[in-house]
Structure 1
Amino acid sequence: MTTSTSLPGPAAVAAARATIAPYIRPTPLFRTQVDGRPLVLKLEHLQLSGSFKLRGALTALLGGDRPEHVVTASGGNHGLGVATAAALLGLPATVYVPETVPETKARRIEQGGARLVRHGSTYAEAAAAATEAATEPGARYVPAYDHPDVIAGQGTVAAEVVAEAPDVDAVAVAVGGGGLAAGTALAIGGRTTVAVEPEHCCALHRALEAGEPVDSPVDSVAASALGATRVGELPFAVLSASPVVSLLVTDDELLAARDRLWDEFRLLVEPAAAVPFAAWLAGRLPGELACIVLCGANTDR
């Protein structure tokens, strides 16, 4: 596996795919038409733990020496992924979350077998406490997105897409800290990565404008999953060197897209997962055939 400071490449995604294969659920592709236009949906919300985050967590934990204890911080989905990965590997886990974490996600983290610690009002405060806790002997901190193994693991979603649907010319994903988008860029062989964010929760978009990661305000109904205040350094480095289109949608657009997925297909996803579909519905995606990754379903309805 790669070191914590080196950039992963396509080979790292291929290696991660083989490494985590015994533990994950390969999720289906759904070819359909919406408004007379062809579309491919990647149903990653059907993954164990309810989101793609399991892939990166497993890749990180299976690299290097086996820890005695796993620690992380999360707004929800990453914590669920780490809790599930730790349970699959027989490891104890502690997940720090901000006090604003949705109850649905907090409950599922505990149901996954992890110890839940509420700390601070923001993800950054929870992460600071988790990082300190991870200095204890035998503990390992699993970052949410800014680690090469995590990026490589998240890239296995898109690797499955292009293996099954090589005719897609763009893969669209929601962006928080950038791990899924960066992994997608590594996995899709020169196709276009479409990185979609809520307009008031857009750390990657602001970083691309500034030429470097910068602090960004967070104010969106999808903030519990996409609420990174700054895109990761490693994801930004990968995405800066890749064919990437950065798009923004409004909260009204993403909620309407979420509702349409339910009304038309009976696909129940959380608001963040509908973000790329919202951009597609608005006709903003490039290319002839896009794959939309529905990244998570940790919601109550």
Structure 2
Amino acid sequence: MVHNSDVRAAARRIAGRVRRTPVLEAGDRLWFKLEHTQHAGSFKTRGMMNQIVAAPTRGVLPSAGIVAASGGNAGLAAAYAAAELGVPAEVYVPSAAPAVKVDKLRKLGASVVQTGNEYAEAYAAAVEWARASGAYFCHAYDDPDMVAGNGTLGLELTEQIPGGFDTVLVAVGGGGLIAGMISALRASDVSVVSVEPATSCALHTALRAGEPVDVPVSGVAADSLGARRVGEIAFGLAKDAGIVSLLVDDKAIVDARRRLWDDYRLVVEHGTAAAYAALTSGVYVPGPGERVVVLLCGANTDPSDLI
């Protein structure tokens, strides 16, 4: 289990290495946390930076470099963090990974290997390479240091909204972000709400089954929220906290992404828009006076279809 103390330790560890991202007051009792403006375009930079910086405290020296598997964002975060820390990075991504993410990986200096049709296959190949090469494997979501690093976002939020907030809506794939948010905010009265695409819902399915299980993955947000199985850490924390778990369909996600552009000129991924889709589609209806934060967690997308 990851605790608030772990998140605070991560915050000290990565201070000055990640951005303190802004909050936008988007409406009456509604705020957006603009984490899509983070280095490398997503929240995962926090967790990856923490994993690599914390490695020596775990008895690991990534002198052979790091290796990561990703639908895109975790790889970008790993590549960015590795470059900042002077460590070689090799990133395995599915063959269907968006070209915009693959191109950016290479620009960040990572060696890119495209293999398999989805994240699970890229993950298996990355693990095998780590064993063969001695490189330090950085998990995209199911790692205590990754979760603690991601949770630093929650600590920031508690300092940024005068009067506090009641609810935070979080898009979920493998669960690294929501696990971090639960860890950071568990001692508070804030409700953490999970939002997943109906066609890629590993956490929702696990909570109903009582354990992590494999799920089919498809839909417009599969490139960033397409984990076949939720992480053990996220499942344990979500079950223990009794979080609310919601599903949104592709139409709602596409509409929410378009609204973020039309109404606020914010360019985000479909996966990121899933959190906002819970509000715009009416799947989540705030109570009277409820103060809601929507995490906008990733911006690595092709914006051409928004213009």
Task: Name the TM tier (shorter chain).
Answer: over 0.9
CA RMSD of aligned residues (A): 1.2
Structure 2 residue aligned with 1:147: 143
Match of 1:14 among 8, 18, 22: 8
Instruction: Map 1:223-242; keep pairs closer than 5 Å.
Output: 223-242=222-241
Structure 1 residue aligned with 2:296: 294
The whole-number CA distance in structure 2 between the counterparts of 1:90 and 1:226 is 29
Instruction: Map 1:53-202; keep pairs closer than 5 Å.
Output: 53-65=44-56, 66-68=61-63, 69-136=65-132, 138-165=134-161, 167-188=164-185, 189-202=188-201
What is the identity, as a one-letter code, of the residue corresponding to 1:232?
A: G
Do 1:158 and 1:171's aligned partners in 2 also have CA atoms closer than 8 Å? no
Structure 2 residue aligned with 1:3: none
The DSSP-based 3-state class of the residue aligned with 2:224 is helix
What is the number of equivalent residue pairs in this alignment? 292
What is the identity, as a one-letter code, of the residue corresponding to 2:270?
A: P
- Does residue 281 in structure 1 map to residue 280 in structure 2? yes
What is the identity, as a one-letter code, of the residue corresponding to 1:246?
A: S
What is the identity, as a one-letter code, of the residue corresponding to 1:200?
A: T
In the TM superposition, what whole-angstrom CA distance separates every residue of 1:252-284 from its partner, at most 9, and x where no partner exists? 101111101100111011111111111012341
How far did residue 136 of structure 1 move? 3.9
The DSSP-based 3-state class of the residue aligned with 1:41 is strand
In the TM superposition, what whole-angstrom CA distance separates every residue of 1:6-40 from its partner, at most 9, and x where no partner exists? x211111111111111210110001121xxx4201
The DSSP-based 3-state class of the residue aligned with 1:135 is helix
Task: Identify the range of structure 1 (24-33 vs 281-290) with the bigger mean alpha-carbon deviation.
Answer: 281-290
The whole-number CA distance in structure 2 between the counterparts of 1:190 and 1:244 is 12
The whole-number CA distance in structure 2 between the counterparts of 1:138 and 1:206 is 35
The DSSP-based 3-state class of the residue aligned with 1:241 is helix
What is the identity, as a one-letter code, of the residue corresponding to 1:170?
A: T
Q: Larger % of helix: which? A: 2
How far did residue 156 of structure 1 move? 1.0
How far did residue 190 of structure 1 move? 3.7
In the TM superposition, what whole-angstrom CA distance separates every residue of 1:86-119 from its partner, at most 9, and x where no partner exists? 0010000000111111101111111111000111
What is the identity, as a one-letter code, of the residue corresponding to 1:262?
A: W
The whole-number CA distance in structure 2 between the counterparts of 1:269 and 1:48 is 14
Task: Identify the range of structure 1 (154-163 vs 43-52) with the bigger mean alpha-carbon deviation.
Answer: 154-163
Structure 1 residue aligned with 2:216: 217
The whole-number CA distance in structure 2 between the counterparts of 1:285 and 1:75 is 31
Question: Is there any run of 5+ residues in structure 1 with no aligned partner, and where?
Answer: 1-6
Do 1:73 and 1:143's aligned partners in 2 also have CA atoms closer than 8 Å? yes
How far did residue 132 of structure 1 move? 1.0
The whole-number CA distance in structure 2 between the counterparts of 1:60 and 1:249 is 31
Q: Give the structure-1-normalised TM-score.
A: 0.94
How far did residue 285 of structure 1 move? 4.5
Do 1:83 and 1:114's aligned partners in 2 also have CA atoms closer than 8 Å? yes
The whole-number CA distance in structure 2 between the counterparts of 1:151 and 1:257 is 27
**Percent identity for Structure 1 against Structure 2:** 48
What is the identity, as a one-letter code, of the residue corresponding to 1:23?
A: R
How far did residue 167 of structure 1 move? 1.6
The whole-number CA distance in structure 2 between the counterparts of 1:121 and 1:199 is 20
Do 1:45 and 1:269's aligned partners in 2 also have CA atoms closer than 8 Å? yes
Structure 2 residue aligned with 1:272: 271
How far did residue 137 of structure 1 move? 5.5
Poorly superposed stretches of 4+, deviation over 6 Å: none
- Does residue 47 in structure 1 map to residue 43 in structure 2? no
Question: Is there any run of 5+ residues in structure 2 with no aligned partner, and where?
Answer: none
The whole-number CA distance in structure 1 between the counterparts of 2:84 and 2:129 is 22
The DSSP-based 3-state class of the residue aligned with 1:177 is coil
